[in-house]
Amino acid sequence: MRIVVLVKPVPDTASGGERLRPDDWRLDRQAIPTVVNANDEYALEAALKLTEAHGGEVVLVSMAGAGAPDTMRKALAMGAASGALVTDDALAGSDIVSTARVLAGALRDMEYDLVLAGADTSDGGAGVVPAGIATLLGLPYLSYAAKIEPNPDAGTVRVNRITPTGYEVLEASMPALIVATQALGEPRYPSLKGIMAARSKTLETKGLADIGAGDAPVGGAVATTAVLGSEAPPPRAATRVIREPADEAARQVVEFLAERRII
Amino acid sequence: MASSTPPPASSESHPAPTYRLTEDQLALRDAVRVLAADRIAPRAAEIDRTAEFPWDVKELLASHDILSLPYPEQYGGLGGDLLTVCLAVEEISRVCATSGLILAVQELASLPLLLAGTDEQKDRWFPDLAAGRKLIAFALTEAEAGSDVAAARTRARRDGDGDGADWILDGSKRFISQGSVADLLAVFAVTADDDDTPRHERLTCFIVDKDMPGFGVERIEHKMGIRGSPTAELSFRGVRVPDANRVGGVGEGFPLTMRTLDRSRPGIAAQAVGIAQGALDVAAAYARERTQFGKPIAEFQMIAAMLADMDAQTEAARQLLYKAATEIDAGAPDASRWSAMCKLVAGDTAMRVTTDAVQVLGGYGYINEFPVERMMRDAKITQLYEGTQQIQRLVIARALTARR
């Protein structure tokens, strides 16, 4: 099996330094170190397990700034075979539509059985780019996967899709695009051999022209969304602590919730 | 204006001296650091409390190729240099000295094979050791032969004539780190004790398999620190060892132990630096958060000065270690001196810094709610094993006075 995993370098939230630039409200990506988006690591882990079980290899595809290779090497260290990075000055300020167009463009000439994506990214957080890609490429779209069972002989894949009440079982023909969830299992730590090997793996950098999208309507100039402002959420109201015996405390909690029609 | 500056030397013939770690070393160090913080640190207190060998940590180190660092690539190792091995030992020891010792002992006990083993012997044992499928321990010390290595009494005699005859081992070894959990042991035994044979030509190294009849674990010591690392007394009662398990020439064991220790002491220095850094991490975090007299205690000059000294001393020990490892890797003729100096300085630093860390935490430092009392107990061993600090000074002084 050949599986493409979409990965995005995002600001390391552990660094605590993320900020938006005051002039255009875009994320200041120079200011802090980047890491592989955590949800993408779950997708990568799922993909690696699938190729370990069924053979084949995992390939990374990313759209990001020119500094992304260092971050992508960390994903290669986990076990992906190679990677492709689409980076172009024209892509600064891209919105969801642009991102989906570019990634779909990058995938168009590739061969794969599955595309796996993380549920959303910790910076943008829209969570709809994979759906956009599937639509543009005409791929079956299987979201919120808690379990992925490919049947390479039949050319189909079966997914347990998480719903608010449980899960539904979806089956589609391959190639298909699957959105991974954390229910698929914790991402592995890269082994030292993986880290050493990652340094010599192929990481191809492509511009828009290289993926046949030289004149595609993408980037900040054609963005259909714009951030108009940013403010911190209001501070949380004072916490009310009920210090009564359990019965009385429970009664008061129920009353509090009922007054607000929460229960 | 004419320049008198000579042209820069070609980087091939004279690699630029650098005091920075390479990108590979930084990447490996960071990976071990994350793994240690996430997976080993949460186990450290329990490992100390139960005094049980952490097999789960050994598996973790094996599955992430950390145990493969010291071995050449053709045997499934990573071919890491000594400095890289030290970086890994340091990062693991920063959260758990017992766990750091797993790698340090595996390296120590493999060194006789690495330095004097035949290709056939390496083929036979290194793949299992590099993969962490087998552990190996270093059995040199005896009850009456500590600093005086050549006073060993464990005997090995030929069973029969000829160069290929088996050996029969009799005797006992004491204070053998991981001696009870190892699959293999590098054992040093006396092969000649006649008066004509100089003391330093009496020892020979053998690889003993734990399953060989006559080998036994007599007891496990109760220790002050590194409590999860079993320190064993071992007995050899007529253990038959094939000549194919002899490492190096007959009578060449003593110089082999010296060459081994030259390369292994930096591993203990790395453990010491890691322990010191771990204690400093805890003390600094505590001093920022602990409030007395209305402000964090880190803002009191007496505490701030202690923390600053701890940091400076730890960094000084670390830099001496990195320099020593680099010199030893480069084949420096005074490897013994570098090796002894880095262990001496790092061991004393670990003891001082951990003691100060307990002081910074006050009463909280003395109870096992915080890890610094464990780190202080763990630090002590780094002043004792692989040569006491007194032996290190002896080695350094001899190198000094031997100079012309």
The 10s digit of each residue's pLDDT in B155-211 is 999 998 888 899 999 999 999 999 999 999 999 999 998 888 898 999 999 999 999
Contact, A202 vs A73, CB < 8 A? no
For chain B, the residues whose C-beta falls within 8 A of a C-beta of chain A are 24, 27-28, 31-32, 34-35, 38-39, 63-66, 68-69, 78
**Closest chain B residue by Cα to residue A188:** B64
Which residues neighbour A96 within 8 Å (Cβ) at sequence distance 6 or greater?
Answer: A124, A126, A128, A129, A132, A225
Question: Which tokens go with B175?
Answer: 């204070």
From chain B, pick out residues whose CB is under 8 angstroms from the CB of A192. Answer: 28, 31-32, 64-66, 68-69, 78
Encode pLDDT of A15-50 as tens digits: 777 777 888 787 777 777 888 999 999 999 999 999
Q: What is the pLDDT, as a whole number, of residue B16?
A: 54
Asked if A191 lies within 8 A of B63 by C-beta distance, the reply is: yes
Q: Using alpha carbons only, how large is chain A's radius of gyration in Å?
A: 21
Interchain contact, A191 vs B38, CB within 8 Å? no
A60-90 residue pLDDT tens: 999 998 888 888 999 999 999 999 999 988 8
| CB-CB under 8 Å, B32 with A192 | yes
- Interchain CB distance below 8 Å, A192 and B38: no
Nearest residue of A to residue B78, measured between CA atoms: A193
User: How is chain A classified by DSSP, letter by letter?
Assistant: -EEEEE--EEE-GGG----B-TTT--B-TTSS-EEE-HHHHHHHHHHHHHHHHH--EEEEEEE--TTHHHHHHHHHHHT--EEEEE--GGGTT--HHHHHHHHHHHHHT---SEEEE-S--SSS----HHHHHHHHHT--EEEEEEEEEEETTTTEEEEEEEETTEEEEEEEESSEEEEE-GGG-PPPPPPHHHHHHHTTS-EEEE-TGGGT-TTSS-SGGG-S-------PPPPPPPPP---S-HHHHHHHHHHHHHHTT--
A192 to B31: CB separation less than 8 angstroms, yes or no: yes
Task: Tell me which residue in B38, B39, B66 faces A192 most closely, judged by beta carbons.
Answer: B66
Phi, psi at B296, each rounded to 5°: -60, 140
User: What integer pLDDT is reported at residue B403 of this predicted model?
Assistant: 63
Residues in A closer than 8 angstroms to B39, CB to CB, are 189
| Residues B31 and B46 sit within 8 Å (Cβ to Cβ) | no
Residues in chain B: 404
For chain A, the residues whose C-beta falls within 8 A of a C-beta of chain B are 77, 189-196, 199
CA angle at A16 for the pair A87 and A41, rounded to the nearest 5°: 50
A190 closest CB neighbour out of B31, B68, B69:
B31
Q: Do A189 and B68 touch (CB under 8 A)?
A: no
Q: How far apart are CA A92 and CA B334, in angstroms?
A: 56
Give how far A34 is from chain B: nearest CA, Å: 15
Give the Cβ contact number of residue B118 at 10 Å. Answer: 13
Between β-strands B291-292 and A166-173, what pairing exists: parallel, antiparallel or unpaired?
Answer: unpaired
pLDDT tens column, B246-268? 999 999 999 999 999 999 999 99
pLDDT value of position B9: 43
- pLDDT tens profile A89-120: 888 888 899 999 999 999 998 999 999 999 98
B73-99 mean pLDDT: 97
| Terminal-to-terminal C-alpha distance of chain B | 43
Closest alpha carbon within chain B to A200: B24
Which residue type is seen at B301?
Answer: Q
Chain A partners within 8 Å of B69 (Cβ): 192
Contacts of A194 in chain B (CB under 8 A): 65
Write down the residue that tokens 């993380």 correspond to. Answer: A118
Asked if B93 and B66 touch (Cβ cutoff 8 Å), the reply is no
Cβ distance of B24 and A196 shorter than 8 Å: yes
**A41, A52, A192, A199: which to substitute to probe chain B, counting the most B Cβ within 10 Å?**
A192
Contact yes or no for B28 and A192 at CB 8 A: yes
Categorize the per-residue pLDDT at B3 as very low, low, confident or very high, splitting at 50, 70 and 90.
very low
Model confidence at A191: pLDDT above 50: yes
pTM above 0.80, yes or no: yes
Backbone conformation region of residue B248, classed left if phi is above 0, alpha if psi is from -120 to 50, else beta: left
User: Quick check: B246 and B117 in contact, CB under 8 A?
Assistant: no
Taking all residues of chain A, what is their mean pLDDT, rounded to a whole number? 91
On whether the CB atoms of residues B114 and B58 are closer than 8 A, the answer is no
- The answer to whether the Cβ–Cβ distance between B24 and A199 falls below 8 Å is yes
A190 CB neighbours in chain B (<8 A) are 31
Section B2-15 average pLDDT: 46
- What are the respective helix, strand and coil percentages of chain B, to the nearest 5? 55, 15, 30
- pLDDT, tens digit, 9 for 90 and up, residues B23-65: 889 989 999 999 999 999 999 999 999 999 999 999 999 999 9
The continuous run of DSSP H or E covering B327 comes out as helix B301-329
Which residues are registered as beta bridge partners of A172?
A157
pLDDT band at B7 (very low <50, low <70, confident <90, very high): very low
Phi, psi of A196, deg, nearest 5: -65, -45
Among the partner-chain residues B35, B64, B78, the one whose CB lies closest to the CB of A196 is: B78
Residue with tokens 């789960």: B56
C-alpha distance from A192 to closest chain B C-alpha (Å)? 6
Mean pLDDT of B203-220: 98
Lowest-confidence range among A29-43, B56-70, B113-127, B280-294? A29-43
Going by C-beta distance under 8 Å and a sequence separation of 6 or more, which residues neighbour residue A24?
Answer: A93, A227
- Alpha-carbon distance B59 to nearest alpha carbon in chain A (angstroms): 13
Q: Indicate the residue type of B239.
A: V
Q: Which residues on A lie below 8 Å from B24 (Cβ)?
A: 196, 199
Phi-psi region of B157 (alpha: psi -120 to 50; beta: other; left: phi over 0): beta
pLDDT at residue number B12: 47
Q: What are the CB-based long-range contacts (under 8 Å, 24+) for A138-143? A: A139/A115, A139/A175, A139/A176, A139/A177, A140/A172, A140/A173, A140/A176, A140/A177, A141/A176, A141/A177, A141/A179, A142/A170, A142/A172, A142/A176, A142/A177, A142/A178, A142/A179, A143/A178, A143/A179
Classify residue A260 as exposed, middle or buried by CB count within 10 Å of its CB (0-12, 13-18, 19+): exposed
Residue of A nearest to B69 (CA): A192
ipTM over 0.90: no
Cβ neighbours around A63 below 10 Å, total: 29
Are the C-beta atoms of residues A6 and A130 closer than 8 Å to each other?
yes
Contacts of B92 in chain A (CB under 8 A): none
Query: Which pLDDT score is estimated for B50?
Result: 97
R_g over Cα of chain B? 22
Contacts B68 to A, Cβ<8 Å: 192-193
Smallest CA–CA distance from A193 into chain B, residue:
B65
Across A177-192, average pLDDT: 94
The H or E element that residue B81 is part of is none
The structure tokens 């001082």 sit at B352
Answer yes or no: do A192 and B35 touch at CB < 8 A: no
Q: How far is CA B282 from the centre of its chain?
A: 24
Nearest by CB to B34, from A189, A196, A199: name it.
A189
Q: Which long-range contacts (CB under 8 A, 24 or more apart) does B56-62 make?
A: B57/B96, B57/B99, B57/B102, B58/B102, B58/B132, B58/B135, B59/B132, B60/B35, B61/B92, B61/B99, B61/B102, B61/B103, B61/B132, B62/B131, B62/B132, B62/B133
Residues of A in contact with B66 (CB under 8 A): 192
State the number of CA atoms in the 13 A half-sphere of A172 facing the CB. Answer: 21
CB contact under 8 A, A191 and B27: no
Shortest Cα–Cα distance, A193 to chain B (Å): 6
Q: Is B327 assigned a catalytic role?
A: no
A181 Rama sector, left if φ>0, alpha if ψ -120 to 50, beta otherwise: beta
Per-residue confidence (pLDDT) for residue A142, from 0 to 100? 96
* Pairs from B329-336 (Cβ < 8 Å, separation ≥ 24): B329/B81, B329/B82, B329/B83, B334/B399, B335/B262, B335/B263, B336/B258, B336/B262, B336/B395, B336/B399
Residues near B222 by beta carbon (within 8 Å), at least 6 away in sequence: B51
Distance from CA of A189 to the nearest CA of B (A): 7
In this prediction, residue B17 carries a pLDDT of 55
Residues linked to residue A5 through DSSP beta bridges, in sequence order: A60, A116
B229: pLDDT strictly greater than 50: yes
Main-chain dihedrals φ then ψ at residue A244, nearest 5 degrees: -125, 165
Please give, rounded to a whole number of angstroms, the shortest distance from the CA of B350 to a CA of chain A. 27
Q: In chain B, what residues touch A195 (CB-CB under 8 Å)?
A: 27-28, 31
Answer yes or no: do A192 and B34 touch at CB < 8 A. no
> What is the nearest CA distance from B66 to chain A, expressed in angstroms?
7
Q: A191 to chain B nearest CA, in Å?
A: 4
The answer to whether the CB of A70 falls within 8 A of the CB of A197 is no
Measured from the Cβ of residue A38, the count of other Cβ atoms closer than 10 Å reads 15
Residue spans of beta strands (DSSP E) within B202-279: 203-209, 215-220, 231-241, 246-247
Candidate list B90, B91, B201, B386, residue with the active-site label: B386
CB contact (8 A) between residue B31 and residue A196: no
